[in-house]
Amino acid sequence: MGVTGARPVGAEGEEEAARAVQQMFDSIAPRYDLLNHVLSANVDRLWWRRAARRFKAVLADPDAAVLDICCGTGDMTMALLKRRPRGARPTLAADFARNMLSRGVKKFGESARKAGEPYAVPLEADALHLPLRSESLDLIVSAFGFRNLANYEAGLREFHRVLKPGGQLGILEFSEPGGLIGKAYAVYFRRVLPAIGRAICGRNGAYSYLPISVGNFPAPPEMVALMQATGYEQCEWQPYTFGIAGLYMGVRQNQ
Ligand SMILES: C[S@@+](CC[C@H](N)C(=O)[O-])C[C@H]1O[C@@H](n2cnc3c(N)ncnc32)[C@H](O)[C@@H]1O
């Protein structure tokens, strides 16, 4: 596989790439939710809900230890919380961009929720170095965050370390559909979307980075192969909305 991780323009090496990604999300945090919903015409809500539904059995277990990694402003976390029973063990919601996380906690934090409602605990942490015990989690979910990691293989290995044997991984990511739909979408994604992003956000880099990072991300068969090579079984990719996005799933092997 050619691509090993995200490389924002100008960043050399993994450290620089990670810092560039962190700074970018910190800077767009105030406008992130608005932009997301405008650019996806609210379809992102359906994707978060659908991904959460896929893990409904484990989410319904009150004792399950669940992590939303790269949680950002917390909309995936909220979709997960909807499926947790009252009194469930708190879900963990981690991100390394403090400005994104601080917006998320206003939605999913204990003080933002009614008494007894499931809530999430924020964790400011790098996905490649999680401050969590090995074999401690039943489920890790990531929505539109994994693509931004500076090293995809290292990310999958770190998730493998903290998942219990038999624990599940779900990665929701964009992809580039083929055929006519893919061609039409490419025009929107590569030209229209960065222009709208610039207009709302007033910044050049962030929404030009999005299509570039999606274009550089491994295609579904490559990503599935990488998951298999890093210790996951029952790996599959389920396309959402003509393959504009999709959910990668895998189960941590016993060794
Ligand atoms: C596109 S946002 C997605 C946020 C949210 N999951 C959603 O679906 O709206 C990507 C998030 O991943 C976070 N992120 C990227 N690389 C990370 C890393 N190495 N460790 C922790 N968070 C990371 C960014 O800070 C950002 O908040």
Residue 1 has pLDDT above 60, yes or no: no
Instruction: Answer yes or no: is the C-beta of 128 below 6 A from any ligand 1 atom.
Output: yes
29-33, 50-54, 178-182, range with greatest mean pLDDT: 50-54
d(CA 119, CA 110): 5
Range 124-144 average pLDDT: 98
Q: Is 38 helix (H, G, I), strand (E, B) or coil?
A: helix
Indicate if ligand 1 lies below 6 Å from the C-beta of 95: yes
Which pLDDT score, from 0 to 100, does residue 194 have?
80
**Residue 14 near ligand 1, beta carbon < 6 Å:** no
DSSP code, position 60:
T
Say if CB 159 and CB 188 are below 8 A apart: no
Q: What is the pLDDT, as a whole number, of residue 182?
A: 81
Distance CA 136, CA 89 (A): 13
Whether residue 203 has pLDDT greater than 70: no
Across the chain, what does the average pLDDT equal?
92
Give bridge partners of residue 140 from the DSSP assignment. 67, 169
Q: Give yes or no for a contact between 120 and 147, defined as CB atoms under 8 angstroms apart.
A: no
Sign of CA dihedral 210, 215, 221, 224: negative
Matching residue, tokens 């396309």: 239
